[in-house]
Chains A and B, each alone.
Chain A
């Protein structure tokens, strides 16, 4: 019998709030956190807009802590401290405590600024913390160190599916008996001219610079690409027995996960969403649920023309005739795309939707694309039914990574 995994602590810092409570309130209100990037370097950028963290994570840390951490690591630490405190800082044998924190690009900005410093002032001026600031496993390692995790510290890297993959990995550590408590999630902070130029070169970014709040509009007919975001989401996963023994507050239950790959193209989704369909089916099977149990999907929904259609096809294929009973939302319409942080932040939103029985709306959904055959929640939040309910969170990444997670109400 597989060990049941529950969620006992949540933390985040995002473009819509500096913590879980404020972020959740803002997405329920349908308010986007997207703005113009107020930097001179945007002058020749096709996309000049982003979801910048509402609260600078460095301002939440002591200066001597912040200086040793890449911005993505600062965000991860801030979110992890919130989640750990929210879980009641469980007393646990360190050998039974793990940390799995993902990122898509790691400490890219620290790498670039260090290189600028190297050119300007020479090799001797490079910080001794540069290597640990840029390594992708840095956030997982820093969080693991802070809580004293010795069961294992890991960092899945699968672009925009990374955060969801981390939660799957963490849950499996508990199911397999390697750990009783795992702090898991994802982080990203790469709003920089080089990344903006790179994604723009792929024609992946929205260029609705004259109306930033309306730029991220998943499933709307007028969507024109994703909006870059930054931030982190962290949850505390715990074996149900351990949580029960210490009387922990339980937000929801981890149901299962499905992880597949497209085998189609390095950056474009399979137009029929076949990999995603299999991921959803595997997640349902892993959770021991059927399509009829799902009442809500927090979709990957990046607001790219192709991606949203492929995901719609996948959800329809996986949930079949039950699709019409499922309230779908795209919270990237408000947060922008947090890349390696997205799957974790959106998993937290999924868990909160189950807890509050309320699905946040998709902002900027004015004209549903006729190619989208989903019941997309727009305008106001949508109530969910009473009783035992379950929801899906989808995350896909460049490279053809497909991750689906199932959560159940507590």
Chain B
């Protein structure tokens, strides 16, 4: 499941920010490694919510520092 979510997230990050899919790995920081700014992060969140039917509240987004954080959150909340 986590692998599927990682792959899906990598596709979203690629589409939103042009980051190569292979660079989107669990230990990568959205801001520091992938150069995702706060606006693009909102796009990632919207796309992830649509894709997995999860709700990612703003209060949670600030905790999603790495790709791994996002994969963990989505895995735990996906229905």
Residues of A participating in the B interface, judged by any CB pair closer than 8 Å: 62-65, 67, 124-125, 127-129
Contacts and interface: CB of A to CB of B under 8 A. Distances in A.
A199 to B, nearest CB: 33
Interface stretch (B2-10, B14-22, B62-70, B71-79): B14-22
A62 B18 contact: yes
B31 interface: no
A61 to B, nearest CB: 10
The list of the 6 closest CB pairs from A to B, nearest first, reads A64-B18, A128-B42, A128-B39, A62-B18, A64-B17, A128-B43
B46 A125 contact: yes
Nearest to B50: A125
B53 to A, nearest CB: 13
A236 to B, nearest CB: 26
Contacts of A128: 39-40, 42-43
Contacts of B16: 64, 67
Contacts of B39: 128-129
Contact of B46 (A63, A65, A67, A124): A124
Contact of A65 (B18, B43, B49): B18
A63 B15 contact: yes
B51 to A, nearest CB: 13
Nearest to A65: B18
Interface of B: 14-18, 39-40, 42-43, 46, 49
A128 B42 CA distance: 6
A119 to B, nearest CB: 17
B14 to A, nearest CB: 8
A383 to B, nearest CB: 48
A127 B18 contact: no
22 contacts: A62-B18, A63-B15, A63-B18, A64-B14, A64-B15, A64-B16, A64-B17, A64-B18, A65-B18, A67-B15, A67-B16, A124-B46, A124-B49, A125-B46, A127-B43, A127-B46, A128-B39, A128-B40, A128-B42, A128-B43, A129-B39, A129-B43
Nearest to A129: B39
Nearest to B18: A64
A128 B46 CA distance: 10
Contacts of B17: 64
Contacts of A65: 18
Nearest to A124: B46
Most buried by B among A62, A63, A64, A124: A64
A213 B40 CA distance: 42
Contacts of A127: 43, 46
A222 B15 CA distance: 49
